[in-house]
Structure 1
Amino acid sequence: MKTSGNTILVTGGGSGIGRALAQRWHDSGNVVIVAGRRVEALEETASGRDNLHAMAFDAEDSGAIDSFAETLVGRFPELNVLVNNAGIMRTEDATSRRDLTDAEQTIATNLLGPIRLTNALIDHLAAQADSALINVTSGLAFVPLPAAPTYSATKAAMHSYTQALRAKLAGKVEVIELAPPAVQTELTPGQSTRAGYQPLEEFADEVMGLLAQQPTPPEILVQNVHPLRFAERDRTFEERLAFLAQH
């Protein structure tokens, strides 16, 4: 992936990982569009930065994705990088019958949203030079958090989906997976100051360094996520799962 001269769409760019990476890409000489539900947050991301633009986008709204993609490409015909970052994480008690609204919204946002947006933009991306698709998954794709089973499942599904896309799009679109560890963001209440989680700025700096490697690794894995990503290889899966079950 080129480090500069791209036109990049980052969903979920109003806060957390999306905001941090969008601003770093912008600082590196890229045109960046941040998209998400909270327009005020997006405008804060873009404030004072020429060529960093905000657009409203709801990953859960299947009916609006095609029209969003059409408007996006009309405004930014040189778009060549899609970053599927938008996501929600909600805890669930799966030990007894429960309301599945949170689970269904998680699937719609974290799994169907990226699939639908990728589908809407894939023909355009495939026609661009130096095009790339980055799917943001999670270390929990590899060892699930029992308190967030649906979130973990959507990230595991996106890992598989990304692998399949990489095989099918070889030579057309570069497909990259970014799997974060636990990072200090507001993905869940209180997470931005939670001890033991990687500071956001440190995480973003490490990610940008990995993305700058040539060739770009197919999986962007900061050091903190290695224990989860390689748990099965290292035969520590049950140990890691037992640890996460306590949280």
Structure 2
Amino acid sequence: MKMEGNTILITGGATGIGLALTESLLKLGNEVIICGRREDKLIKVQNEHPGLHIRVCDVSDEESRKSLFKWVTENFKDLNVLINNAGIQRAINLKEGVKGLEGESEIKINLEATIYLSALFVQFLESKEESAIVNVSSGLAITPLAAVPIYCASKAGVHTYTKCLRSQLSDTNIKVFEVLPPLVISELNMDYRKKVGTTNTGIKAVKCADAIVDGLEKDKFEIQHPALDNLKTSTMEDVDKLFEKMNGPW
């Protein structure tokens, strides 16, 4: 797909991969709208990029999603790309039972929001000459990390959902992409990263954004870290061995 002259909505566009994508896509001459829950973060990015449009939105909330859709479609009628990037990650000890699941819901933010925002925008995007839905999942959707079980499950859901969405929309002009990033240096799950000493582990967000833009331009519908290429052609036994290597005993 062409990577200039688009009107693009990025959820969670004020930090991490979302911010790096925002900056890359603005440089390419696109009109970019970002949304997020933290107004101060949105305003900071807008001050650095005056042409940027911002909107406070909690994508985990149904009414907030509907309000976002109404505002975007009324004010940006040329919108042709939706990037479902917003996400959270939490370290959860499943031995704690229900108590361990208390707090922000990765299912609502990572998976439900992706499903429902895509559903809200699909008919609007179908009316465009060229359009796309880009869902950000994770390499952990393929081989999970036991310390962040609900995150992995939610991203596996995004992975499966995106395949189904791509199949159902194959006879439309909407291209459906999935991004499966490796570990990226960001504020995602920072408390846990500090605890295990991985705050500076991973690739830089800008490098990830560059790979995403390149993949979109080349119509690479699953944009992933090269290490995943071999993994996805491996046997289930190979995948299980990698899981054991990544996680060890609990």
Q: Percent identity?
A: 34
Letter in structure 2 aligned against 1:42 = L
Distance 1:182 1:48 in 2: 26
1:234 deviates by 8.0
2:218 is aligned with 1:218: no
- In the TM superposition, what whole-angstrom CA distance separates every residue of 1:88-139 from its partner, at most 9, and x where no partner exists? 100111124232224x711111111111111111110111111000000000
Contact 1:180 1:225 in 2 (8 A): no
Residues 195, 55 of structure 1: alpha-carbon distance in 2 compared, 3 angstrom cutoff: closer
2:66 is aligned with 1:70: no
Count of residues in correspondence between the two structures:
243
Contact 2:190 2:199 in 1 (8 A): no
1:45 deviates by 2.3
Contact 1:198 1:224 in 2 (8 A): no
Distance 2:160 2:220 in 1: 17
- 2:213 counterpart residue number: 208
- 2:135 counterpart residue number: 135
Contact 2:215 2:221 in 1 (8 A): no
1:144 deviates by 1.0
Distance 1:98 1:162 in 2: 29
Letter in structure 1 aligned against 2:244 = A
Residues 130, 114 of structure 1: alpha-carbon distance in 2 compared, 3 angstrom cutoff: same
- 1:24 counterpart residue number: 24
Letter in structure 1 aligned against 2:166 = R
Contact 2:92 2:147 in 1 (8 A): yes
Distance 2:97 2:217 in 1: 47
1:47 deviates by 2.4
1:51 deviates by 3.2
Distance 1:150 1:75 in 2: 36
Q: TM-score, normalised by structure 1?
A: 0.91
2:247 is aligned with 1:245: yes
Contact 1:13 1:45 in 2 (8 A): no
1:97 partner SS? helix
2:53 is aligned with 1:53: yes
Structure 1 unaligned blocks of 5 or more: none
1:48 deviates by 3.7
Letter in structure 2 aligned against 1:156 = A
- In the TM superposition, what whole-angstrom CA distance separates every residue of 1:177-202 from its partner, at most 9, and x where no partner exists? 00101010111116596354112222
1:233 deviates by 4.3
- In the TM superposition, what whole-angstrom CA distance separates every residue of 1:148-195 from its partner, at most 9, and x where no partner exists? 111101100111100001011113210000010101011111659635
Contact 1:35 1:54 in 2 (8 A): yes
- In the TM superposition, what whole-angstrom CA distance separates every residue of 1:28-86 from its partner, at most 9, and x where no partner exists? 01000011101111222222434321111101111221122011111111100000000
- 1:158 counterpart residue number: 158
- 2:39 counterpart residue number: 39
Contact 1:3 1:28 in 2 (8 A): yes
Distance 1:85 1:136 in 2: 5
Structure 2 unaligned blocks of 5 or more: none
